[in-house]
Structures are given as C-alpha cells and as structure tokens.
Structure 1
C-alpha cells in the first residue's frame, strides 16, 4: 500500500512539473576553484504562461548554520513564455577543504501566476534542488574515473562502499547478486557508506557523471 501511495505521489509530482514548463539545463553544477562563476540555464518551455523564478544556495546539511559561500543571480526574475535565462553562481570566498570536493544545494523555485478572479484555483509552486560541487584545483586523479575506484566489501548483513578519491560519487544504482539496493545515494570523498543487505555475491554499480549522464556498469 505504501508503494502505491508513493507511486501516486510521484506521478502527481511529475505531472505538475511537466505542466510548469520550466526546465533547468542540468542536474548539477561543478564549480571549479579559481573560476569567476558557474552557470546553469533556466528555460520556460510553456508557450503562454510566464513564471517567477526564485533561486538561492544553501548548505548541503540542513543542520549546518554556517554562511553559504555562494550567491545566485538573479535571485528572482520573471521568465516569459519560450524564453531562457542564466543563473550565475559566484563564490563569495570561504575556507573550504583543499584536498577534496565540497557540496552545497542550489534551489530553484518556480511560481505560476494566479489569474484575476481565480481565487479558488491552486497556485503551483515547484521547488527543485540541484547539487553544487566545489572542486579545488590540483586534486589527485580524474573525476570522471572516481566511480570506478570505489571499493566494496560486506560486514555481516551490511554492504560497505569505500571512496578513496577526493571526489563525490553519486550512485545511480547498486546491486548485490542481482538484488537492487534502495536509494544508493552519494558517497563522500575519502569516506564510506553502508546499506543493509540480505545476501552476498557480485556487486554491480553505476554512477552519475558531471553532466548528469549514467556511467557504464562496473562490478566487483
């Protein structure tokens, strides 16, 4: 029953997002140290409806109350039908680790207009989150190969993955002996992640690359 409810909720979300007509040109932002800014496009694919677009950056951990070292411009703007604008992300300066990536959130909220006299109609607000990866210069290894260097082992009824690289690896899928791990998530640089499993066997995994694409399958 829970799966059915979750499926219905997801379907509603996807339909709502499709009707909104605002498309963000990417799934993540890579901010390389020393660059003046990073950017990502926002397009209104709707042929009739303008939208307000609000954007801001925040810490990846909601309990982290430190100032966010990024500003997004423009923070609020009107996006007319079939028009595109660029969100520009600038680093304001903050002491971040030099030996590994850091991650933050980019929030993009779209607000549909309410027509005059439509007081009883729902105004659609959609908030999407995209990862911002701050990548220091001169990190060891190649970021596009980090996913291949993951190391898996089992401990009791847990599968453990170790990431020895200085890069975040976002996992698209992980399976053990053909059984998929639910919501594999992301493993931080020089850190490990664990999942409960009920068996053992060959581990296969795929990751999400810098461009939002899915990698080939690796196995161990």
Structure 2
C-alpha cells in the first residue's frame, strides 16, 4: 500500500525465439480487474532480451485496510510462428504464468513473519479446517496429520480453509508455509482447537 507501483522483470532466455507477451490482473475469483494496471500490457520480446512490467496501484485506497487482498497477475507468452513451417502441421502452445499478487495495507499490526505460527486447526468428520486469525494470506504446504500427507492450502486472512482428512490420519499436525520471499518456513507444530 505504501508503494504506488512495483516492477517485474520478464526474460526470454531463448535466443532464436520471439514471443508476444500479454499481461493482465485478475481478482481472487479469476475475473479481470482494473484496480491494478500493467504497462506495457502487450509487447513483442526478442530472443535473449529482458523487459520490465510495471504494476501500478489504481485502487485509490478502496481495498480493505485491515487485511491483505489477493489478486492474480497473469503473463502469457505466445510464440511466434516459424514462417518456413507454415505449410506443415504444427502445434504451438502459449504459456500463462499465474503469480499471486497481494495488496498489503501499510499499517498492519502483526509483522508478516509472525503470521504462520498463529495458524490454528480444527478436526471434523473427514476434514481438517485451517483457521487463520491474522491479516495475511497463508500458503500452507507440507501439511501432515501424523504420517499422512494432506493437500496444500491457501488460507485467507481472518478466514478458514478445509482439506480432506483421512480416517487413519494421526493426531499430530505439522506444516510449513511460504514466506514473502518464496522460501519455506521451518516446520511447525499445529495447535488444534
């Protein structure tokens, strides 16, 4: 929230290929959202080049100020067509990279590195509910109940997410989260309610 724009470098490591790069932002539900503007939204990227996308905050402080808000940044790379192969049958794939984009208000009381340890758990019939009392999204990974590996979960701020819990799952809950730098936090013990 304190920054009005951030930058993301896009690199083409293939020296022979040119790509058309298209970028846009979607809200948490997957609908295109104009509250963040990406420039340039469309450009051609030559081989062995790097370009910078600017993500501009156009929210005008209209988002919640007590918690993070999730968006998805999409970057589509469309390969150019080799003109010498126009008469042949070819299959070309466009690759879309989806990256979590969080709007984080400037004055949240809890430091983000303390959020993971606040996560709570509640067992139900065939489910384990993850309860997040913090203002941050928590990406929970390496979630285990005893020796059973459970699905990863994205737990919204001040919200809950549920994962399937096998009947033979152990009592001890352990987990890790992904921090602001994309690294895994140390393994933690889960407290059940």
TM-score, length basis structure 2 = 0.90
1:139-158, Cα deviation, whole Å (9 max, x unpaired): 01111221121011212332
SS of corresponding position for 1:88 = strand
1:101 matched to 2:78? The reply is no
Question: 5+ residue gaps in structure 1?
Answer: 1-32
SS of corresponding position for 1:111 = strand
Paired position in structure 1 for 2:53: 87
Paired position in structure 1 for 2:21: 53
Once structures 1 and 2 are overlaid, which stretch shifts more, 210-219 or 134-143?
210-219
1:150 matched to 2:116? The reply is no
Following the alignment from structure 1 to structure 2, what is the Cα–Cα distance between the partners of residues 178 and 143?
29
- Cα distance, 1:107 vs structure 2: 0.4
Q: 1:162 aligns with which of 116, 125, 131?
A: 131
Following the alignment from structure 2 to structure 1, what is the Cα–Cα distance between the partners of residues 59 and 146?
46
Q: 1:212 aligns with which of 173, 182, 190?
A: 182
Following the alignment from structure 1 to structure 2, what is the Cα–Cα distance between the partners of residues 188 and 104?
12
Give me the CA root mean square deviation: 1.5
- Cα distance, 1:43 vs structure 2: 0.7
Paired position in structure 1 for 2:160: 192
1:1-31, Cα deviation, whole Å (9 max, x unpaired): xxxxxxxxxxxxxxxxxxxxxxxxxxxxxxx
- Cα distance, 1:136 vs structure 2: 0.3
- Cα distance, 1:68 vs structure 2: 3.0
- 8 Å contact kept, 1:55–1:107: yes
SS of corresponding position for 1:104 = strand
More helix as a share of residues? 1
- 8 Å contact kept, 1:174–1:181: yes
Closer/same/farther in 2, CA of residues 77 and 59 from structure 1, 3 Å limit: same
- 8 Å contact kept, 1:114–1:121: no
Following the alignment from structure 1 to structure 2, what is the Cα–Cα distance between the partners of residues 168 and 121?
42
Following the alignment from structure 1 to structure 2, what is the Cα–Cα distance between the partners of residues 93 and 180?
39
Question: 5+ residue gaps in structure 2?
Answer: none
